Amino acid sequence: MGRDGGVTVLLAGDTSTNAMIIAHDVVPHRFARHRCAVQARPEQGNDVAQTHGLDLGWTKARTVAPQRRMGVGEAHAHHGELLQGVFYRDDGRRSRALVTLAFPSRGSRAVFRAGAGESGTVTVDGEGFAKVRRAAELTLRALPGAPAGGHVEITSDVPRGLGLGSSTSDVTATIRAVADCLGAAPTAEQVARLATLAEGACDSIMIEDRVVLFAHREGTVLETLGPRLPPMIVVGCDTDPGGAVDTLEHPPARYNDWEIGAFLVLRTVLRRAITAWDVPLLGKVATVSAQINQRFLPKPDLDFLLAVCREEGGCGVQVAHSGTVAGVIFDPSRRGAVDAVARCMRRIEDHGLPTTNVIGADLLPEGLDASVS
């Protein structure tokens, strides 16, 4: 999968916005096509889900259309997290959880063709699609009346290994495609639980209508923090050009008691920042989360990004806690935000880091084009 050094723009907090706002995307998207065939054993019904201790309840999934030979699903990428740590559930138990920063201008599209893999052989066009196959199989087994198997074809423009959620968008698109084929309309939570089952852990890109604190290993929502993120601009970059992180190979962070206490406070502050549309406050939370994560997956250039953020009047720095991307957060309502964002991008590129995206550039009154060119 080619790495994209181009500068793109997307809007945080509004997942309906797409690549139309990428006004200065200098490198055309390199879409990669992958195909894999899936053989499932539908006679097992919900067994797979049940052996994993999950009752997906998909027998209750709403059926909205008759079964077809083909289904299509889409899912967008993310740009790491605003917060990741260990948090308390209402029952007092603790769960690892995160708040995803959506990246709606990149994503995956899956096409599922029923019955195509009935020979029992699985062919994969390209490497690393075991999770997609697993997602398709699990979805087929979870749905009543599913066909024996099928083909999945993935089209994606999400760079791999940077923490942009490439595999999660593949997996989510696949689950949606299979469900679409069967005329089922699973809830976002049902998709989330299936995605974590297929992947082990994933961000909450499938929950698009609100901002959630998401237990990324369980696929459940700890709390809805608000309807959407405040309008903000995020200048994204890859902090380790050429390097890549295997999300699942990376050992889970072992937080100490002070950090777990701090997460209590950070969660509350983030809830407040989202409710009040307070981008500076949100930026502080993201920065602390990024700094805590330095003990586990250090970003060598975090200090540089924090300095740029401080000097250009940014609000904070967010990171992919199990990837290499990071972003400097700006408040678009602040005077001079256009120039600050442009200077920030230039400084990051001068430092030798490829910028990945500028999330939310259309929020700037004059747009970003003039100052970038």
The answer to whether 136 and 148 are in contact (CB under 8 A) is no
- Taking the complex as a whole, the smallest distance from the CB of residue 96 to other proteins amounts, in Å, to 17
Of 78, 284, 299, 321, the residue at the interface with other proteins (CB under 8 A) is 284
Task: By CB under 8 A, name the one of 27, 265, 307, 370 that touches other proteins.
Answer: 265
Integer Cα distance of 23 and 42 in angstroms: 46
Identified binder of other proteins from the candidate list 3, 96, 217, 272, rule CB under 8 A: 272
In the block, residue with structure tokens 């924090």? 306
Q: Interface with other proteins includes 281 (CB under 8 A)? A: yes
Q: Identify whether the C-beta of residue 177 lies closer than 8 Å to the C-beta of residue 135.
A: no
What tokens appear for 162 in the block? 């940077």
Inter-residue contact 163 to 205 (CB < 8 Å) = no
Beta carbon of residue 223, minimum distance to other proteins (angstroms, whole number): 7
Minimum distance between the CB of residue 281 and other proteins, rounded to whole angstroms? 8
Report the Cα–Cα distance between both ends of the chain, in Å, rounded.
Answer: 28
In the complex, the smallest distance separating the C-beta of residue 189 from other proteins, rounded to whole angstroms, is: 17
Select the residue interacting with other proteins from 43, 127, 249, 257 (CB under 8 A): 257
Q: Is residue 241 at the binding interface for other proteins, with CB under 8 A as the rule?
A: no
Sole binder of other proteins in the list 49, 99, 171, 288 (CB under 8 A): 288
Compare residues 268 and 294 and give the one whose CB is closer to other proteins: 268
Which CB, 46 or 291, lies closer to other proteins? Answer: 291
* Of the candidate residues 119, 123, 268, 294, the single one contacting other proteins (CB under 8 A): 268
Determine, following the binding rule CB under 8 A, whether residue 93 of this chain makes contact with other proteins: no
CB of 84 to other proteins, least distance (A): 15
Q: How many CA atoms lie within 13 A of 145 on its CB side?
A: 13
Regarding 275 and contact with other proteins (CB under 8 A), the answer is no
Eight-state DSSP code of residue 45: T
Q: Give the one residue of 264, 311, 351, 370 binding other proteins; rule: CB under 8 A.
A: 264
Give the residue with the Cβ less far from other proteins, 94 or 334: 94
**188 in contact with other proteins (CB under 8 A):** no
Stretch that binds other proteins, among 139-147, 244-252, 261-269, 325-333 (CB under 8 A): 261-269
Among the listed residues 258, 335, 350, 373, the single contact to other proteins using CB under 8 A: 258
Which range of residues in 20-28, 117-125, 147-155, 259-267 is near other proteins by CB under 8 A?
259-267
Residue closer to other proteins, measured from CB, 244 or 260:
260
Helix axes 337-350, 302-311, angle to 10 degrees: 150
Rule CB under 8 A: is residue 307 a binding residue for other proteins? no
The secondary structure element, H or E, covering residue 133 is helix 130-142
Alpha-carbon distance of 16 to 211, in angstroms, equals: 14
Strand partners, 34: 154
Residue 246 CB coordination number (10 Å): 12
Amino acid letter, 144: P
Pick the piece of the chain touching other proteins (CB under 8 A) from 96-104, 174-182, 235-243, 283-291: 283-291
DSSP string for residues in 143-164: STT--SEEEEEEEE-PPSSSSS
**Does 59 interact with other proteins (rule: CB under 8 A)?**
no
Those residues with Cβ within 8 angstroms of residue 61's Cβ, 6 or more apart along the chain or in another chain = 143, 179, 184, 185, 186, 187, 190
Q: How far apart are CA 155 and CA 100, in angstroms?
A: 22
Taking the complex as a whole, how short is the minimal distance between the CB of residue 284 and other proteins, in angstroms?
A: 5
